Amino acid sequence: MNSKPYLSKSRIMLARQCPKLLYLDRNHPELANISSSTEAAFAIGHAVGDIAQQIYGNDDAVLIQHEEGLGSALRQTEKLMKAGPSVPIFEATFQYDDVLVRVDVLLPDGNAWRVVEVKASTSVKEDHHIDCALQAWVIHGLGYPISTVSLAHVNNRFVYEGDGNYVGLVEEKDLTESVASLESDVPSLVEQAREALRGGEPSVDVGGHCSKPYDCAFITHCWPTDVEYPVTGLGGGRTKLGMLVGKGFRDIRDVPEERLTGASQQRIHRVTCDGNAEVLAAGVEFVTSLAYPRYYLDFETIAPAVPIWAGTSPYAAVPIQWSCHIESAPGDVRHVEFLDLSGEPPMRRLAAAMVECLESDGPILMYTRYEERVIRSLIDLFPDLARSLQLLVDRLVDLHPVVKQNYYHPKMLGSWSIKAVLPTIAPHMNYSNLEGINQGVAASEGFLEAIDLSTPVERRAELEEQLLRYCEFDTLAMMEIVWFFERHR
């Protein structure tokens, strides 16, 4: 193998997290498990990058084109750089010492360049400093002058006015001093990455680095998953779990009880070793005490980094849909739902319809406090509806802590999410069996696709059906959980 393999900035950052991660990414990409949340993060990054180009650009700005390959991008960049700092350049592409970087924004600043790296996060992270130092090292290595290096991140205090003007969406943090101090560390990072690619698969124990700073796409390759109850199902931090794996423990039942000190892990271990579900009387007593009518409520939201409606902010959860199963008496159930795919802001109509549906008495059941946060956000948006919405908040009952304190099944593998609980109490119901949209990220993406004017009518109808089915499934799942506890009276 080439003793000096080609490296991109992203691959050097992978090696910094874990040399084995880089090796697998380069040599065995088929082993990666790219989650929907990771794919969504990529899409968000592109969206923020596009807005940054609007903010930093002018009529003379140049976007380096990559359609014709890397060589063309490098030549385009070199030509512009040799002309001297004169116009903004986006996606400038540089290669030095077989290390490739693409710079989000280059701005002329006198006789030098101002480097701006754009991130979709809402703050500056530790790895962002290294990221920027890598870029500066390459640019300096090619002999180009830099005046400052900044990190532009999303400003979550920005409120969109609905006029297409996104100035203020990102805010800059000057990292020039930090980057200067880190540039001398870059050669060792580059060498570390090259070393990871020179031989066979590096031997690296699993641990906290598997999810920091980012979740590794190869976790299922490195962590034990070929057993019935993997050690990861104990929950808790990956550092301590990695220590158990390093000692040779793969299945929860293999771990000696004395190695577990936390109450939650001890409980998971005990129930898993027993092999039977644990249902405590307090949970049964709680659900049987719930008055009628019972309302089972669930929202779907979108939280785009780039707001699409006036009055909203980056990453703020904006409700776009709800489902409610109403149990007026045992066995007397009806379903009400709201979904507006017109593309107009749905929040006020959603809130008004919800107030009407939930009437004036009876517990409103939710799973985690998310629904409460959504309703409180509607209170902030519509002060004139505040009293009616606050009355709903006062009736909310969270099932999640009830379930967590009073139920565990070995197949839940340390998770009390509704998706983990449901198959163990209602085997006929499983989110994975839903066609198309079967998780929250997909619902958000599906909604945005459905309101896009370019989406064909047939596809929009398909998405509408999937969105309605998924949200209804959530409230039906809550009802099944309550019924499960009631059957244990």
Smallest CA-to-CA distance from 192 within 24, 5, 31, 32 is with 5
How many other CB atoms are there within 10 angstroms of residue 433's CB atom? 10
Length of the chain (residues): 489
Higher pLDDT, 41 or 114: 114
Quick one: what percent of the chain has pLDDT higher than 90?
96
pLDDT digits (tens, 9 = 90+) for 5-25: 789 999 999 999 999 999 999
Region label for 359, one of left (φ > 0), alpha (ψ between -120 and 50) or beta (otherwise): left
pLDDT digits (tens, 9 = 90+) for 303-314: 999 999 999 999
Q: What is the pLDDT of residue 43?
A: 92
Q: What value does the mean pLDDT take over residues 344-357?
A: 98
* Cβ density class 152-190: b for 16+ within 10 Å, e for less: bbbeeebebeeeeebeebbbbeebbebbeebbeebeebb
Q: What value does the mean pLDDT take over residues 46-54?
A: 96
Give the C-alpha separation, 273 to 200, whole Å: 38
Give the C-alpha separation, 397 to 296, whole Å: 10
Smallest CA-to-CA distance from 45 within 95, 10, 3, 84 is with 10
Q: What is the pLDDT of residue 3?
A: 54
Question: For the chain, how many helices (H) and strands (E)?
Answer: 18, 14
Give the C-alpha separation, 60 to 82, whole Å: 17
State the average pLDDT for the chain.
96
Could you tell me if 269 and 234 are in contact, meaning their C-beta atoms sit under 8 angstroms apart? yes
Q: What value does the mean pLDDT take over residues 464-482?
A: 98
Residue 37: pLDDT band (50, 70, 90) is: confident
Q: Which ranges in 83-207 belong to alpha helices (H)?
A: 126-141, 176-182, 186-198
Q: What is the pLDDT of residue 38?
A: 87
Give the C-alpha separation, 94 to 436, whole Å: 41
Q: What value does the mean pLDDT take over residues 330-343?
A: 97
Placement of tokens 């459905």 in the chain: 450
Q: What is the pLDDT of residue 4?
A: 66
Residue 445: pLDDT band (50, 70, 90) is: very high
Q: pTM of the prediction?
A: 0.92
How many other CB atoms are there within 10 angstroms of residue 23's CB atom? 23
Give the C-alpha separation, 245 to 219, whole Å: 13
* Residue 2 scores a pLDDT above 60: no
Residue 35: pLDDT band (50, 70, 90) is: confident
**Which residues, in sequence order, are CB contacts of 46 under 8 Å at separation 6+?**
none
Q: What is the pLDDT of residue 1?
A: 44
Q: What is the pLDDT of residue 5?
A: 72
Could you tell me if 374 and 299 are in contact, meaning their C-beta atoms sit under 8 angstroms apart? yes
pLDDT digits (tens, 9 = 90+) for 83-101: 999 999 999 999 999 999 9
Could you tell me if 301 and 444 are in contact, meaning their C-beta atoms sit under 8 angstroms apart? yes
Q: What value does the mean pLDDT take over residues 139-163?
A: 97
* Full 3-state SS string of 39-70: HHHHHHHHHHHHHHHHHHCCCCCEECCCCCCH
Smallest CA-to-CA distance from 355 within 302, 380, 391 is with 391
Quick one: what percent of the chain has pLDDT higher than 70?
99
Q: What value does the mean pLDDT take over residues 256-284?
A: 96
Could you tell me if 376 and 319 are in contact, meaning their C-beta atoms sit under 8 angstroms apart? no
Amino acid letter, 39: E
* Cβ density class 358-376: b for 16+ within 10 Å, e for less: beeebbbbbbeebbeebbe
